[in-house]
Amino acid sequence: MSTKYNEYFLLTPGPLSTSDSVKEVMLKDWCTWDDDYNLEVVQKIRKGLVALAGADTDYTAVLMQGSGTASVESVLGSVMDENSKLLVVDNGAYGARIAEITGYLKIPTQVIELGEQGVPDAQAIDALLAADASITHVAMVHCETTTGMLNPLEAVTKVVKQKGRIMIVDAMSSFGGIPIDVQGLGIDFLISSANKCIQGVPGFGLVIARKQALEECQGRARSLALDLYAQWKCMEDNHGKWRFTSPTHTVRAFDQAMSELDQEGGVAKRHQRYIKNQTILVEGMQALGFKCLLDRSLHSPIITSFLSPNHKDYQFKTFYEKLKEQGFVIYPGKVSNADCFRIGTIGHVFPQDIEQLIVAVEKAMYWQRA
């Protein structure tokens, strides 16, 4: 299967398949100083992101050059001072990465290690916060794409805010595809990326921040380029201008992707499409004999882990290539204690595409014919 510009669908948690119109807007060059770019593209995006978060003027949006991980590091390195201590909820590679970043930055950190199939317990976090007054910030991944698990964001955020701590949410693979009431929950910093559920392309990340919490970050940054406060202040004072070179083509593509999200009916409608994609995927794969790694109650509509077939002739690489030949690219597994692979259901991908994937999977099951 092919599209106008691609020979295959990217069934991954990002980068992901984008629309032809998102690709096409990158054909034009932009000046980083020009109002046509800063006012009509960057500022429009920033305002739109706050609205997507269900927030008002108490919140703001900051765009940061680089990967999603760079934006996570910009938050961790900018919001915590010498008296801060972070509690990290770790049930996958991306929770572990948060702790790895704070190790590099020498930020005091305590980690709740749950294992890749462990579910965060809000009551246990509540008790830990009650017992340790030195913990000032809590960080958790919303959708842990290591497995595809959707963590209990509302329950955890509720206890964090009741205890008066700062809540940092890595919503890299969920924001824009799953409704999140950032202001209603009281989230202080939410981090995502251009190439995830809003269906843009890689090049920058985004931080939606409570203004009061962000204003307190002045002078705290451990990095010049990743100074979140300085980036926000520059954008505020200069009508959307970035401190350093802006990824203009990527930003314009994101603006187009935001418009297409609105045309689809917003986050709620996109969420429903993703749910339908994932439901068709799981039911189709199970009908072919595949088993999910996680219990269905823990699934997200973002990506799903399937256990590899227990057959002597099965090799992921061969399976991958046979699917790619038919127009579908999937992901290898990332779970340390289980042999599995992953299939994403986000991006410019629709239920009929997932139905065709199931047909392709059946054709690619070479070990059944060995």
Residue among 128, 92, 131 nearest 113 (CA): 92
Are 247 and 239 spatial neighbours (Cβ–Cβ below 8 Å)?
no
Cα(191)–Cα(168) distance, rounded to whole angstroms?
8
CB atoms within 10 A of CB 161: 16
Q: Report, in this order, helix, strand and coil percent for the chain, each rounded to 5.
A: 45, 15, 40
Are 63 and 46 spatial neighbours (Cβ–Cβ below 8 Å)?
yes
Burial 106-142 (b: 16+ CB within 10 A, else e): ebebebbebebbeebbbeebbebbeeeeebbbbbbbb
The sheet with strand 59-65 has its strands ordered as 59-65, 204-210, 189-193, 166-170, 137-141, 86-90, 109-113
How far is Cα of residue 98 from the mean position of the Cα atoms in its chain?
14
Question: Is 270 annotated among the ligand-binding residues?
Answer: no
Burial class (CB in 10 A: 0-12, 13-18, 19+), 297: exposed
Token code pair at residue 198: 């809003």
List phi, psi (to 5°) of 101: -60, -45
Going by the annotation, the residues of the binding site for substrate are: 342
Going by the annotation, the residues of the binding site are: 342
